[in-house]
C-alpha cells in the first residue's frame, strides 16, 4: 500500500516496537505494579484488621469494666453481711458472758452469805458453851470458898486477873 510506504511503515520496525512494548509491559508488571499492588492490598487488609481488633479490644475493655464493677458490688455486699453477722455474734457473746458473770456473782454472794451465817451460829453456840462452862466453874469456886465479901472480892479479882492472863 502506497500510503503505508509514505509513512515508512515496515513490519520489522513494527515488530521491534512491539518487542519494546512487551518488555515495558513485562518489566512494569513484574517489578512495579505487582509488588506495589501486593503491598497495598496487604496494608489495606492490615488496616481493616487493626480497626477490627481495636473495636473488639474496646468491647472487651467495656465488658471487663462491667465485670469488675459487678464483682466489686458483690464483694461489698458480702463484706457488709459479714460485718453485720460479726456484730450480731459479738453482741450475743457479750450478752451471754454478762449473764454468766451475773450468775457467778450471785452464786458467790449466796455462798458467802451461807458461810457467814453458818459461822455466826457456830460462834454463838461456842460462846454459849464457854459461857456455861465459865459460869459453872465460877459457881463452883464461889460455892467452895465461902461466901465472904473478902473472898468474894478476892476471888473475883483473881479470876478477873486469871481471865486477863488467859487472854
The residues binding another protein (CB under 8 A) are 4, 6-10, 12-18, 20-21, 23-25, 27-33, 35-37, 39-40, 42-43
Q: Which is nearer to another protein, 18 or 116 (CB)?
A: 18
Q: Which is nearer to another protein, 20 or 97 (CB)?
A: 20
Instruction: Label residue 9 left, alpha or beta by phi (over 0 means left) and psi (-120 to 50 means alpha).
Output: beta
CB contact set of 159 (below 8 Å; sequence gap of 6+): 138, 141
The packing angle between helices 34-145 and 149-166, to 10°, is 160
Contact indicator for 155, 141 with CB cutoff of 8 Å: yes
**CB 49 to another protein: min, Å:** 14
Three-state SS for 23? helix
Q: Which is nearer to another protein, 45 or 69 (CB)?
A: 45
- Give residue for cell 458490688: 73
Q: Which is nearer to another protein, 23 or 134 (CB)?
A: 23
Contact indicator for 89, 97 with CB cutoff of 8 Å: no
Provide the grid cell at 153.
472480892
Q: Which is nearer to another protein, 42 or 152 (CB)?
A: 42
**CB 52 to another protein: min, Å:** 19
**CB 54 to another protein: min, Å:** 18
Three-state SS for 31? helix
Amino acid at each position: 500500500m502506497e500510503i503505508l510506504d509514505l509513512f515508512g511503515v515496515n513490519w520489522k520496525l513494527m515488530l521491534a516496537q512491539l518487542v519494546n512494548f512487551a518488555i515495558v509491559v513485562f518489566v512494569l508488571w513484574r517489578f512495579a505494579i505487582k509488588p506495589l499492588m501486593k503491598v497495598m492490598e496487604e496494608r489495606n487488609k492490615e488496616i481493616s484488621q487493626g480497626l477490627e481488633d481495636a473495636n473488639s479490644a474496646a468491647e472487651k475493655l467495656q465488658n471487663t469494666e462491667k465485670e469488675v464493677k459487678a464483682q466489686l458490688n458483690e464483694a461489698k455486699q458480702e463484706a457488709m453481711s459479714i460485718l453485720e453477722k460479726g456484730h450480731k455474734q459479738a453482741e450475743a457473746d457479750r450478752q451471754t458472758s454478762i449473764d454468766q458473770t451475773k450468775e457467778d456473782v450471785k452464786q458467790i454472794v449466796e455462798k458467802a452469805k451461807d458461810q457467814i451465817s453458818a459461822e455466826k451460829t457456830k460462834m454463838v453456840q461456842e460462846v454459849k458453851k464457854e459461857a456455861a462452862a465459865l459460869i459453872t466453874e465460877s459457881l463452883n469456886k464461889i460455892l467452895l470458898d465461902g461466901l465472904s465479901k473478902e473472898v468474894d472480892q478476892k476471888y473475883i479479882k483473881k479470876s478477873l486477873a486469871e481471865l486477863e492472863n488467859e487472854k
